[in-house]
Amino acid sequence: MGNDGGSIPDRRDLVRSKPKAEQADKANQTRARWFFCALSKRPLQEPIVACELGKLYNKEAILEFLLNRLAFGDGEEICGHIRSLRDVKTLTLAPNTAPKAGVSDVNVDRAQYVCPLTFKEMSGGVPFVYLATCGCVFSQAGLKAVASSSSGSPKEEGSKGKEKEGDGVPAKDLEVCPQCAKKFDRTGDVRLLNPPAEEEEQMRSAMERRRAAEALKPKGKKRKAAMSADDGDPPTKKKAAAPAPSMNPNIAAASRAVASSLAMEEAKRKAQMSDAVKSLYSSKDAPKRKETFMTMGTFTRVSTLLYIVSLVAQLSLLAVCLILDGSTGHIFGCCVVLQYIFLCNFRYPVNLENESAILRSDRPG
């Protein structure tokens, strides 16, 4: 029972085993999470934001997703938990200023950011965390080392703040950020960047608990009113009214003297005015007049003379037209022309009182 060549088949040739599942390269996965945006798959560029699950995004991609949630194919699967910009935090990253190792490392990706405490590169080799209050990013080991050293020294024990809560609720021990000096709570404000699957599930459940607690709290002014009602104290103003600025008594006395002297001079000037000049001014209590300053008292002697001349000319032309020519057209035309001249010269009301006062003021003595 030969096989045309004397070869003996082995079990591997006769029995086909199930092929092994292909495993993804862990190095490529780590590189994709720390160097590329989780949503747009583009290289990370500032401003960089992080969600409550610790994923890194370009802020531009998040804005595009919020405007159109269908802009990316798998957007809902990756960041469906992001409802608005309040659900992400802009990160404060320390750039990597260390020089490159050599020419042979040109093709190797170099971390853009490092921990400001330990100067370890943010490339996935060591775990990194960010603070939800300020957005500062540190390596997990560096932040623990700083916190342990500050808590161990007796001088800095008083620097930690305590946030008071309601009766029966323990106060939170707040620590200070080593980069920006903002206070944070180690139990709830320190969040891991690019966590493993198990840690991500825990962070998701913590996020859901926080959102449920925020939904039960009253918002805005109602919340402040409810808190003040529970305490039994009326709400106080944030800032007291600023006191009026004080003035030097010498300067105040001098200003009062100058104001009184000016008032006396103004009274003397008004007492020396003639009746004609006073008629041009109106008091506040006097009734308002239709005529303005430009049209007040404009009917002069010349206007009176023109009025009389135009009236005589109109009557004379009317008589001539009736005697010489009985055509009504000429009479109508002459009347229209004279009426136009009359309206142009006498469209303002006659003010005989002002005219007589001005004539009296013109006389000598």
- Write out pLDDT tens, residues 272-331: 877 777 766 666 666 766 666 555 555 555 666 776 777 777 777 767 766 766 565 566
State how many domains the chain has: 2
Alpha helices in the chain (DSSP H): 11-14, 26-35, 59-67, 75-79, 140-152, 197-216, 220-231, 249-271, 275-279, 301-324, 328-345, 352-362
Structure confidence at residue 167 (pLDDT): 46
User: Is residue 116 one of the residues assigned to a domain?
Assistant: yes
Residues 66 and 189 in one domain: yes
User: Is residue 220 one of the residues assigned to a domain?
Assistant: no
Residues 50 and 148 in one domain: yes
Q: Looking at per-residue confidence, does 1 or 194 come out higher?
A: 194
- Which of 160, 181, 213 is the last residue in one of the domains? 213
pLDDT surpasses 90 at 35? yes
Residues 171 and 312 in one domain: no
Residues 145 and 33 in one domain: yes
Residue with tokens 């610790």: 54
Contact predicate 163/172, CB 8 Å: yes
Domain that holds residue 336: 274-280+293-365
pLDDT surpasses 60 at 236? no
Q: Looking at per-residue confidence, does 42 or 21 come out higher?
A: 42
pLDDT in tens, 166-199: 444 455 678 889 888 899 888 888 999 999 989 9
pLDDT in tens, 45-77: 989 999 999 999 999 999 999 998 888 888 888
Strands laid side by side in the 172-176 sheet: 161-163, 172-176, 183-185
Residues 188 and 49 in one domain: yes
Quick one: average pLDDT of 106-111?
A: 65
pLDDT surpasses 90 at 342? no
> At how many degrees (to 10) do helices 301-324 and 328-345 cross?
180
User: Is residue 19 one of the residues assigned to a domain?
Assistant: no
Contact predicate 307/346, CB 8 Å: yes
Residues 204 and 319 in one domain: no
- Which of 161, 188, 213 is the last residue in one of the domains? 213
Round to whole Å and give the CA distance between 132 and 185: 9
Closest CA to 34 of 85, 90, 109, 95: 109
User: Is residue 365 one of the residues assigned to a domain?
Assistant: yes
- Which of 160, 184, 213 is the last residue in one of the domains? 213
The angle formed by the CA atoms of residues 252, 255 and 256, to the nearest 5 degrees, is 85
User: Is residue 79 one of the residues assigned to a domain?
Assistant: yes
CA dihedral 126, 132, 135, 141 (to 10 degrees): -30
Residues 324 and 200 in one domain: no
User: Is residue 258 one of the residues assigned to a domain?
Assistant: no
User: Is residue 94 one of the residues assigned to a domain?
Assistant: yes
User: Is residue 319 one of the residues assigned to a domain?
Assistant: yes
